[in-house]
Structure 1
Amino acid sequence: MSDKLAKILAAAHDHATTVIAPNVDAWNTTRKWPRDASDKAGAVGLTGLYAPENWGGQGLPLAEGIQVYEQLGLGDGAYAFALSMHNICTFAGCGYGTEAFKEKWAHDLTSGRKLANFALTEPQSGSDPMQMYTRATMNDDGTWTISGSKAWVSLAGEADVYFTVVKTSDAPGHKDMAMIAIPADAPGISFGPLYETPSYNFLPMSEMYLDNVVVSEDNIILPVGQGLQGSLMAIDIARVSIASGCCGLMQSALDTALSYAKNRKMFGGKNLDLDGIQWMLGEVATDLEASKLLYRKAAEALGTPEGPLMAAHAKRFVPDAAVKAANTCTQVLGGMGLLQPYGLDRLSRLAQMLRIVDGTTEISRVVIGRALQKRAAALPDLPVPQGFGEADAKAAPFAAQ
């Protein structure tokens, strides 16, 4: 581990334990994004993880920077998720944006003085970006006019700029898609009522409406024809980042259960002395170690041909393991696990949320299934056993009935 990464991970751990964990319940009560907290995250380098150093970033490779969310997840998975999306947008803006965009936005984004978020999903299309209705039209002066709506926009009304995927024609397919950065103060942008999200009320989410919003051509992050490809890469990064944050969530749940069970007296001893409790928590510990290995392997594969499949494996396995871990640890505490001060109810709901965002578990299974179909097509056919005709082979499984 490099000295830079060790320093960043230590800063993330400290941020989780001293800023997030002690305050997250109060944030949920006030139902407001803790801008002072994200300002502190920016001050210690957590808002420009992958951006180049000359633009104020840390310059970390994806495989290293993604480990930050494991530490932030110790405090809260939704907070880690929001910062992961900001970092993905900052990475895109600093890496692919125009020079004019970088001059105006880069340092503010890498420092966390301004926040960014990603807008792809639409109310009617869900996980199918081909059914996109948001349109961007180039004007005679080179500006773009954008109209449409997006759903499940994180940091809705709180972010300073939204990296928005649009279509530029009515032609079917994705060859006309682009990504444009839309400033929050652009005339014509508005947000619907905040979604009711009881386990992460501090993270504003809602629909975003674009009514003839005009932006400069300087704000094009990915030009026409590259919008979908870039968005899929962003989603792969997000999926692995979510898996990383889930590992922090699992560790938090496990530590809570261990802290309780080591002192809880029952049947003449301590809960943690009981085989049943040890086996339950031991399974959580194994799932946690497997999850760490899987998300880190997936992070190393990002940007390679194996990246999308590895991201799907991580997104399918790790959030499921987090749901199981949160529920198991709640069970270890018995009735006490339902009480708010222990935080396990919040972790259970957060884990379920992380199973869904940026591609549900079922979507990951689709990606994995398609990869298996390709692999199967490349494998030789198994020979039919001697003496079996085609009809006999079909009937053979039922012969013993």
Structure 2
Amino acid sequence: MSDRITTILNAARRHAKEVIAPNVDAWNEARKWPRDASDQAGAAGLTGLYAPEAYGGQGLPLSEAIQVYEELGVGDGAYAFALSMHNICTYAGCGYGTEAFKEAWARDLTAGRKLANFALTEPQSGSDPMNMYTKATINGDGTWTINGAKAWVSLATEADIYFAVVKTSDVPGHKDMAMIAIPADAKGVSFGPLYDTPSYRFMPLAEMYLDEVVVSEDNIILPIGQGLQGSLMAIDIARVSIAAGCCGLMQAALDTALSYSKNRKMFGGKNLDLDGIQWMLGEVSTELEASKLLYRKAAEALGTDDGPLMAAHAKRFVPDAALKAANTCSQVLGGMGLLQPYGLDRLSRLAQMLRIVDGTTEISRLVIGRALQKRAACLPDLLVPKGYGET
């Protein structure tokens, strides 16, 4: 591991311990994104992880930098998720944006002075991006006029710019899709009521409405024909990032259970001396180690032909393991596991959220199933020998 990634991981670990963990309950109570915290994340180098150094970023490869979300996830999985989406947008803007866009936005995004988020999902389509109605019309002066709506927009009302995937014609399919960055203060941008999310209320989620929004051609991130392909790559990165954050969540749950059970007196000894407790937490520990190996392997595959499949494996397995871990650790605490100060109920709800966002576990199973079909087609037929029930 290079000195640079070690430094960044140490910064993420400190941020989780000193900024996130002590304050996350207060953030949820206030129901407000902690902009001072994300400002501190920017100052620590956590908001431009993959962006080039020329624009103030860290210039780290995806395979290494995604480990940052494991560290942040120990503090809170929703916070780690929000920063991961900002980093993906910053990566896209710095890597594919126009020179004018980079000049206007790149350094503010890498420094965390401005926040970005991704807008793909629509109210009627869920996990089916082909069923998209948000449309951009190209005007004679080169500007784009955008109309439509997006759902489940992270950092709604809080981000400074949203990277939206749009259609540019009425022709079905994806060949006319593009990605364009829409400033939050553009005329015609508005948001619906914030979703009520009991365990991560500090992270604003809402629908975004686009009514005759006019955006400069300088804000084109991916041109017509590349919008869906680029968004699928972004989703693969997000899925692996979520798996990394879930590992942090699992570590937080396990440490809570260990800290409690090592001193809890029961049946003439300590809880952690009981075989049953050791077996329960031992299983959590094994699944945590397996999850770390899986998401890191998936991170290494990003950008290759194996990337989408490996991202699907990570997104299917790790959030499920995190939900199981949070519930098991809560069970170890008994009745105390239900109490808010221990935080295990919050971790269970977070794990359930992370199973759903950026592709449910069922969508991951579809990706894996299709890969198995392709593999099966390349294998020789295995016929049942005569006389064993087939005619």
Q: TM-score range by the shorter chain?
A: over 0.9
Structure 1 residue 217: deviation in Å? Answer: 0.2
Does residue 36 (structure 1) correspond to residue 36 (structure 2)? The answer is yes
Q: Which residue of 2 aligns with 1:221?
A: 221
Structure 1 residue 386: deviation in Å? Answer: 3.4
Does residue 288 (structure 1) correspond to residue 285 (structure 2)? The answer is no
Per the alignment, in what secondary structure is the counterpart of residue 317 of structure 2? helix
Per the alignment, in what secondary structure is the counterpart of residue 58 of structure 2? coil
Does residue 68 (structure 1) correspond to residue 60 (structure 2)? The answer is no
Q: Which residue of 1 aligns with 2:83?
A: 83
Q: Which residue of 1 aligns with 2:335?
A: 335
Structure-2 separation of matches of 1:114 and 1:62: 22
Structure-1 separation of matches of 2:126 and 2:386: 50
Does residue 377 (structure 1) correspond to residue 377 (structure 2)? The answer is yes
Structure 1 residue 12: deviation in Å? Answer: 0.1
Matched AA of 1:358:
D
Matched AA of 1:364:
S
TM-score, normalising length: structure 2: 0.99
Structure-2 separation of matches of 1:74 and 1:268: 33
* Structure of larger gyration radius: 1
1:144-183 equivalences under 5 Å are: 144-183=144-183
Identity %: 85
Structure 1 residue 383: deviation in Å? Answer: 2.7
CA deviations over 1:246-290 (Å, ceiling 9, x no partner): 000000000000000000000000000000000000000000000
Structure-2 separation of matches of 1:393 and 1:200: 57
Does residue 353 (structure 1) correspond to residue 350 (structure 2)? The answer is no
Structure 1 residue 384: deviation in Å? Answer: 2.6
Matched AA of 2:375:
R
Q: Which residue of 2 aligns with 1:264?
A: 264
RMSD: 0.6
Number of positions where the alignment pairs a residue of Structure 1 with one of Structure 2 = 391
Per the alignment, in what secondary structure is the counterpart of residue 367 of structure 2? helix
Q: Which residue of 1 aligns with 2:128?
A: 128
Structure 1 residue 82: deviation in Å? Answer: 0.1
Structure 1 residue 326: deviation in Å? Answer: 0.0
Structure 1 residue 117: deviation in Å? Answer: 0.1
Structure-1 separation of matches of 2:150 and 2:186: 16
Per the alignment, in what secondary structure is the counterpart of residue 73 of structure 1? helix
Structure 1 residue 239: deviation in Å? Answer: 0.1
Per the alignment, in what secondary structure is the counterpart of residue 75 of structure 2? coil
Structure-2 separation of matches of 1:150 and 1:112: 24
Matched AA of 1:350:
L
Q: Which residue of 1 aligns with 2:140?
A: 140
Per the alignment, in what secondary structure is the counterpart of residue 182 of structure 1? strand
Structure-1 separation of matches of 2:157 and 2:265: 49
Matched AA of 2:378:
A
Structure-2 separation of matches of 1:356 and 1:22: 27
Per the alignment, in what secondary structure is the counterpart of residue 149 of structure 2? strand
Structure-2 separation of matches of 1:74 and 1:130: 35
Q: Which residue of 1 aligns with 2:188?
A: 188
Q: Which residue of 2 aligns with 1:365?
A: 365
Structure-2 separation of matches of 1:142 and 1:376: 48
Q: Which residue of 2 aligns with 1:200?
A: 200
Structure 1 residue 305: deviation in Å? Answer: 0.3
Does residue 238 (structure 1) correspond to residue 235 (structure 2)? The answer is no
Structure 1 residue 393: deviation in Å? Answer: 1.7
Structure-2 separation of matches of 1:350 and 1:129: 24
Structure-2 separation of matches of 1:164 and 1:76: 26
Structure-1 separation of matches of 2:135 and 2:4: 42
Structure-2 separation of matches of 1:111 and 1:148: 31
Structure-1 separation of matches of 2:174 and 2:140: 24
CA deviations over 1:153-184 (Å, ceiling 9, x no partner): 00000000000000000000000000000000
Q: Which residue of 2 aligns with 1:310?
A: 310
Matched AA of 1:21:
A
Matched AA of 1:329:
C
TM-score, normalising length: structure 1: 0.97
Structure-2 separation of matches of 1:70 and 1:33: 20
Structure 1 residue 387: deviation in Å? Answer: 3.4
CA deviations over 1:322-378 (Å, ceiling 9, x no partner): 000000000000000111110000000000000000000000000000000001111
Q: Which residue of 2 aligns with 1:18?
A: 18
Structure 1 residue 190: deviation in Å? Answer: 0.1
Structure-2 separation of matches of 1:245 and 1:347: 12
Matched AA of 2:221:
I
Matched AA of 2:390:
A
Structure 1 residue 31: deviation in Å? Answer: 0.2
Matched AA of 2:250:
M
Structure 1 residue 292: deviation in Å? Answer: 0.0
Structure-2 separation of matches of 1:115 and 1:259: 36
Q: Which residue of 2 aligns with 1:212?
A: 212
Per the alignment, in what secondary structure is the counterpart of residue 248 of structure 2? helix
Structure-1 separation of matches of 2:81 and 2:353: 10
CA deviations over 1:6-61 (Å, ceiling 9, x no partner): 00000000000000000000000000000000000000100000000000000000
Structure 1 residue 187: deviation in Å? Answer: 0.1
Structure-1 separation of matches of 2:253 and 2:126: 31
Q: Which runs of 5+ in 1 are unaligned?
A: 395-401
Structure-2 separation of matches of 1:384 and 1:188: 64
Matched AA of 1:34:
P
Per the alignment, in what secondary structure is the counterpart of residue 157 of structure 1? coil
